[in-house]
């Protein structure tokens, strides 16, 4: 005879959890924890998770309870018997674990009460405060922001090239974590990338992220002074021991991770299902409504649009196919009751008003812009122009996600692009720089030498300090990204009016005015950048190279939230679960990037044509299409180079051009040479600075070492002694750095 089992299912934004209890309330079987991104659709994940759990035993399902962000839809699809909020599910789950004596503290003592429950999942986080009576007395959840959630850790793990399961173990090896911005995911991620470019060791960066996540959680989810011991930590993020340690450090309290912490919500629903179905919550036992044929049913979903009000809600209608007949299970996704009125539901969306951005078509007088031509030569040299004909110039662009390199040769009044390449920074800016130099060395003709090397990007200073012997009076010009991108755009299109650059995590706009250049960059959000495209492509298991092909097959672009990369990605996940077609979502993301760029970076400023579009995002033709349609511009007014090298490598090419300009003004290169750099060893070390002439203690300063000797330093705070400001200025500064490194060599700091 089959054993009765009561099943709890927790369908979250990124995972599905399944757990069960028997008639006596004891956990049975192996709990299942699966990520949505491993399967084709969330429904596929649910089917697989439930089948995997049931395959472990000879059971009869006597009751099913659902919770999580998809609780009502899951209840309809499964024929579940009840659904409850995550708060109730998690509170019930942890209470029952205590009742069964399954929770112990670090000393092995059995615990019988919980004071505070911290739960962090993929995109949701919550706190539940329990009163002295053991009942929940207060709860709070995160808002739409995902800063203090597991999705943040997953994204950074992907960027660092590690599996998220390795995150915690690596973080525990940190020796000098630094403080990074914890206001939101985008801020933290940007700081993480900047630390990468500065060469801060991976372990220190990972532990810094753990502390940032905890600070955000405690600030935005937990009311000040509300935490009561003992403190429990559960959810998927509780697998990360670095986060647990950060909680203990910042709370000053021990933090207990209970058994089966990843599926406590599902366990809670299993116990609630048992309570209801076995007659404990009613006079008589009840028969389950669970559909035994769930795993064999064909489920579909179609998208419909509400015309009942200006909310213009997008709706999903889950469908089940039985015996050739299609039935609508329910309508989900609406924000008001009007969505439930069939008369308001249409197959086509409401029309979208055109995005109004002023376009200027009056040409400016053609001239070489002073930002490019005004690089004055040394005062002791002749101001006459020096010919660069036949010379080779290189450019290095240390970007937030990729490192680009370029080599050009001057041929009379023109130039030849010898090579352009892109390498993943991969969490190690120094290694990326060395690899780029190796590639340049291979393409430089034998016996040829470099007359100058330009560097730009967030790692431009680090690159310059590695490859040159001095930072002044050389043709090795370190420029801003603005100047580098304008230099190449104006070389290609001398009458360029606007430069739009969208890279992996940075976006910028450069507009040409009679008096000079005006520019802006994204300073708070990465929503309008290529990283958003990559994240969405990864979710759908679509190679980035195939993104445009799929997106441009869309019938109607979905409306995707674009004010924040985290919001937008969450919106895509939500709509995918509602049943939106993949091409519609991908094209919707392209339009979202366009709208976000024009509002947050462009800020409604007039755009002068012709517009030159650069940066890796424009290798994706769906982004190009979104901009052209939104702005109403043709191919002669919105220009994307046919040569992909000039699109993705514009910054490196511009940096090479600027080095050429410095050479022509009379400067010579201080490039160390490929052989010397290849023979050397370069690394960075985070340390703490104390100086006899300064009463401050500064954490997180970085020293660049060449063959274990300090050659440069970097800091993020003002220094009254002007230390750690690029290349070392003398033997005294080198000696001070060496002393700091020696004194801090064995120091282990797990700070916030």
pLDDT of residue 369: 47
Is residue 255 situated within a structural domain? no
Residue 604 belongs to domain with CATH number: 3.30.420.40
Is residue 396 situated within a structural domain? yes
User: Pick from 295, 318, 338: which residue ends a domain?
Assistant: 295
Are 515 and 631 in a shared domain?
A: yes
Is residue 231 situated within a structural domain? no
Rounded to 10 degrees, the C-alpha dihedral 612/426/395/498 comes to 20
Location of structure tokens 């650059």: 501
Are 469 and 572 in a shared domain?
A: no
Query: What is the end-to-end Cα distance of the chain in Å, rounded?
Result: 57
**What's the domain range around 271?**
3-100+264-295
Count the neighbouring beta carbons within 10 Å of the beta carbon of residue 746: 7
CB 487, CB 499: distance < 8 Å: no
Is residue 258 situated within a structural domain? no
Report the C-alpha gap between 199 and 686 in whole angstroms: 9
Q: Look at the chain and report how many structural domains it folds into.
A: 6
Token pair belonging to 426: 């991969």
Report the C-alpha gap between 396 and 255 in whole angstroms: 46
Are 645 and 600 in a shared domain?
A: yes
Report the C-alpha gap between 712 and 728 in whole angstroms: 5
Count the neighbouring beta carbons within 10 Å of the beta carbon of residue 142: 20
pLDDT of residue 338: 73
Are 524 and 641 in a shared domain?
A: yes
Token pair belonging to 612: 């030159």
Is residue 253 situated within a structural domain? no
CB 121, CB 148: distance < 8 Å: no
Are 634 and 538 in a shared domain?
A: yes
Helix boundaries (H) for 100-240 = 150-160, 167-171, 185-197, 202-220
Are 489 and 506 in a shared domain?
A: no
pLDDT of residue 566: 62
Token pair belonging to 643: 């040569």
pLDDT of residue 392: 97
Where are any strands of DSSP class E within 522-632?
Answer: 607-608, 611-614
Smallest CA-to-CA distance from 56 within 1, 17, 5 is with 5
Count the neighbouring beta carbons within 10 Å of the beta carbon of residue 414: 7
Count the neighbouring beta carbons within 10 Å of the beta carbon of residue 730: 7
pLDDT of residue 19: 96
Are 427 and 394 in a shared domain?
A: yes
Are 182 and 57 in a shared domain?
A: no
Are 384 and 489 in a shared domain?
A: yes
Mean pLDDT by 10 residues, the chain (752 residues): 90 87 93 82 83 90 87 78 92 95 93 94 87 91 68 78 90 89 67 78 93 89 90 94 96 95 95 85 70 75 73 68 70 66 82 69 66 44 72 91 92 92 83 96 95 93 94 92 94 94 86 86 66 81 91 87 64 74 91 85 87 93 93 92 94 96 95 96 83 72 89 76 78 82 53 32
Are 474 and 510 in a shared domain?
A: no
Is residue 233 situated within a structural domain? no
Are 621 and 686 in a shared domain?
A: no
Is residue 126 situated within a structural domain? yes
Are 673 and 628 in a shared domain?
A: no
H-helix or E-strand spanning residue 699? strand 694-706
Residue-level length of the chain: 752
Sheet (strand 125-130) strand order:
136-141, 125-130, 116-120, 231-234, 255-256
Is residue 243 situated within a structural domain? no
């Amino acid at each position: 005879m089959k054993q009765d089992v009561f099943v709890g299912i927790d369908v979250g934004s990124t995972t599905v959890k399944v757990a069960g209890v028997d008639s006596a309330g004891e956990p049975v079987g192996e709990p299942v924890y699966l990520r949505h991104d491993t399967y084709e659709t969330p429904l596929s994940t649910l089917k697989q998770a439930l089948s995997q759990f049931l395959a472990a035993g000879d059971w009869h399902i006597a009751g099913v309870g659902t919770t999580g962000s998809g609780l009502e839809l899951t209840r309809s699809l499964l024929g579940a018997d009840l659904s409850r909020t995550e708060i109730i599910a998690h509170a019930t789950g942890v209470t029952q674990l205590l009742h069964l004596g399954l929770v112990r503290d670090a000393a092995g003592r059995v615990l019988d009460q919980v004071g505070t429950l911290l739960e962090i999942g993929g995109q949701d986080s919550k706190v539940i405060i329990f009163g002295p009576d053991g009942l929940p007395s207060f709860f709070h959840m995160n808002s739409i922001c995902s800063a203090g959630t597991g999705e943040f850790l997953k994204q950074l793990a992907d960027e660092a090239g590690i599996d998220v399961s390795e995150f915690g173990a690596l973080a525990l090896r940190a020796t000098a974590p630094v403080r990074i911005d914890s206001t939101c995911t985008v801020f933290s991620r940007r700081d993480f990338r900047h630390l990468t470019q500065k060469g801060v060791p991976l372990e220190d960066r990972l532990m810094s992220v753990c502390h940032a996540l905890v600070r955000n959680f405690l600030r935005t989810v937990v009311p000040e002074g509300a935490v009561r011991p003992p403190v429990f930590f559960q959810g998927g993020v509780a697998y990360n021991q670095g986060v647990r340690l950060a909680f203990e450090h910042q709370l000053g309290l021990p933090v207990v991770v209970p058994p089966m912490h990843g599926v406590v919500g599902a366990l809670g629903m299993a116990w609630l299902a048992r309570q209801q179905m076995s007659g404990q919550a009613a006079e008589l036992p009840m028969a389950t409504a669970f559909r035994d044929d769930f795993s064999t049913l064909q489920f579909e979903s179609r998208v419909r649009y509400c015309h009942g009000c200006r909310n213009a809600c997008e709706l999903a209608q889950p469908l089940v196919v039985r015996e050739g007949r299609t039935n609508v299970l329910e309508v989900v996704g609406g924000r008001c009751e009007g969505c439930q009125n069939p008369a308001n539901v249409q197959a086509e969306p409401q029309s979208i008003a055109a995005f109004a951005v002023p376009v200027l078509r009056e040409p400016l007088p053609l001239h070489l812009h002073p930002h490019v031509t005004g690089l004055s030569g040394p005062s002791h040299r002749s101001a006459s122009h020096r010919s660069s004909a036949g010379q080779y110039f290189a450019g290095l662009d240390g970007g937030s996600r990729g490192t680009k390199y370029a080599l050009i040769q001057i041929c009379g009044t023109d130039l030849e692009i010898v090579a352009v390449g892109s390498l993943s920074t991969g969490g190690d800016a120094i290694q990326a720089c060395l690899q780029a130099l190796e590639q340049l060395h291979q393409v430089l003709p034998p016996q040829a030498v470099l007359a100058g090397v330009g560097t730009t990007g967030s790692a431009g200073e680090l690159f310059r300090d590695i490859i040159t012997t001095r930072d002044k009076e050389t043709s090795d010009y370190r420029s801003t990204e603005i100047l580098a991108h304008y230099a190449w755009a104006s070389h290609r299109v001398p009458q360029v009016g606007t430069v739009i650059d969208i890279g992996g995590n940075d976006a910028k706009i450069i507009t040409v005015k009679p008096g000079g250049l005006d520019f802006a960059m994204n300073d708070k959000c990465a929503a309008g950048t290529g990283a958003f495209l990559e994240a969405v492509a990864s979710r759908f298991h679509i190679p980035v190279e195939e993104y445009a092909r799929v997106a441009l097959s869309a019938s109607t672009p979905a409306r995707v939230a674009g004010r924040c990369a985290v919001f937008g990605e969450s919106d895509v996940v939500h709509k995918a679960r509602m049943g939106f077609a993949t091409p519609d979502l991908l094209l919707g993301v392209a339009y979202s990037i366009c709208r976000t760029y024009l509002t947050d970076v462009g800020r409604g400023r007039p755009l002068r044509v012709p517009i030159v579009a650069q940066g890796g995002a424009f290798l994706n033709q769906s982004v190009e299409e979104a901009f052209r349609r939104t702005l109403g511009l043709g191919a002669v007014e919105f220009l994307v180079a046919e040569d992909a090298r000039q699109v993705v490598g514009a910054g490196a090419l511009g940096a090479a051009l600027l080095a050429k300009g410095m050479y022509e003004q009379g400067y010579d290169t201080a490039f160390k040479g490929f052989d010397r750099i290849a023979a050397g060893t370069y690394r960075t070390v985070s340390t703490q600075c104390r100086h006899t002439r300064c009463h401050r203690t500064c954490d997180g300063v970085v020293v660049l070492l060449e063959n274990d000797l300090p050659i440069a330093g970097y800091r993020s705070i003002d220094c009254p002694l002007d230390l750690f400001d690029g290349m070392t200025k003398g033997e005294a500064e080198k000696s001070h750095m060496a002393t700091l490194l020696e004194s801090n060599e064995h120091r282990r700091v797990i700070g916030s």
